[in-house]
Chains A and B, each alone.
Chain A
Amino acid sequence: GENVEQHPSTLSVQEGDSAVIKCTYSDSASNYFPWYKQELGKGPQLIIDIRSNVGEKKDQRIAVTLNKTAKHFSLHITETQPEDSAVYFCAAGEGGSQGNLIFGKGTKLSVKP
């Protein structure tokens, strides 16, 4: 089955700096890679996703990149703000099928003002 590894487990940056979180996956059948943000006391919320036919996707200050050959994908947050502080999860799965998502262990991001 699928296995998703996520690094680092904690990340602290100064406001305005960039943050990068990296994930690797094991199952070459996975073709859908979403990222979720979880704030304290809430459920994870989808912030961006990428499919295997695309190498990069951007949405304002957030971008994701995917390297299918190496089986790794990354989340990039630019110009970080204190409200970006949260736990971020990557996941992998077979989009559009009966498949489910396998999640990484999460990265706790702290943005210091």
Chain B
Amino acid sequence: DAGVIQSPRHEVTEMGQEVTLRCKPISGHDYLFWYRQTMMRGLELLIYFNNNVPIDDSGMPEDRFSAKMPNASFSTLKIQPSEPRDSAVYFCASSRGGADGYTFGSGTRLTVV
């Protein structure tokens, strides 16, 4: 198995632009999680899905952030418009059973200038 695949690995964009991060979970994993990692706040859960349905999006910082999971093998996290404070590493993780056995992707390092 190729693991959780995220793209792009790095993204540099100008303030105000739309950014889309992509994730392909491990086949057979019913849960998908989006986390944001910064030095100040550590790993923060943004949103998670179970069987493609959003379960908890209370961590999404504001309306500029949105996430979708149109099918079991693909999810997107979109920021529109982006701001410099959105600069962070964004991780996607998937699991078979909720909290058990997360597998993380390699992350997308987002820089908003």
- B42 contacts A105, C-beta separation under 8 Å: yes
* Contact segment of A61-69, A74-82, A92-100: A92-100
By the criterion CB–CB under 8 Å, are B106 and A43 in contact? Answer: yes
In the assembly, what is the distance between CA of A43 and CA of B43, in Å?
11
Using Cβ atoms and an 8 Å threshold, which residues of chain A touch B102?
Answer: 34, 36, 44, 46, 101
Name which residue of chain B comes closest to A104, CB basis: B42
Interface residue from A42, A95, A100, A104 paired with B33 (Cβ < 8 Å): A100
A residues near B35, Cβ cutoff 8 Å: 103
- Chain A residues near B98: list those with CB within 8 A: 93-100
Task: Give the nearest-CB partner of A97 in chain B.
Answer: B98
* Total count of chain B residues near the partner, CB < 8 A: 23
Asked if A25 is at the interface of the complex by the 8 Å CB criterion, the answer is no
**CB <8 Å contact, A44 and B106:** no
- From B55, B99, B105, contact of A101 by CB (8 A): B99
B88 within 8 A of A: no
Contact between chains at A42 and B106 (CB < 8 Å) = yes
Interface residues of B in 26-61 (CB under 8 A from A): 33, 35, 42-43, 45, 48, 50, 55-56
* Distance to closest chain B CB from A32 (angstroms): 5
Most chain B C-beta atoms within 10 Å of own C-beta, residue among A49, A98, A102, A105: A98
Shortest A9–chain B CB gap in Å is 10
Q: How far is the CA of A98 from the CA of B50 in the complex (A)?
A: 8
Tell me the nearest residue of chain B to A51, going by C-beta: B100
A98–B66 Cα gap in the complex (Å)?
21
With A42-B106, A43-B105, A100-B33 as known contacts, state yes or no: A89 contacts B43, CB within 8 Å: yes
Is A97 a contact partner of B107 (Cβ separation < 8 A)? no
Closest 10 CB pairs of A and B: A93-B99, A43-B104, A105-B42, A103-B43, A99-B99, A95-B100, A101-B99, A99-B98, A97-B98, A44-B104
Q: Which residues of A contact B (CB under 8 A)?
A: 32, 34, 36, 41-46, 49, 89, 91, 93-106
20 other contacts beyond A100-B48, A100-B99, with CB at 8 A cut-off? A32-B99, A32-B100, A36-B104, A42-B107, A43-B104, A43-B105, A44-B91, A46-B101, A49-B101, A95-B97, A95-B98, A95-B100, A98-B55, A100-B33, A100-B98, A101-B45, A101-B99, A101-B102, A103-B35, A105-B42
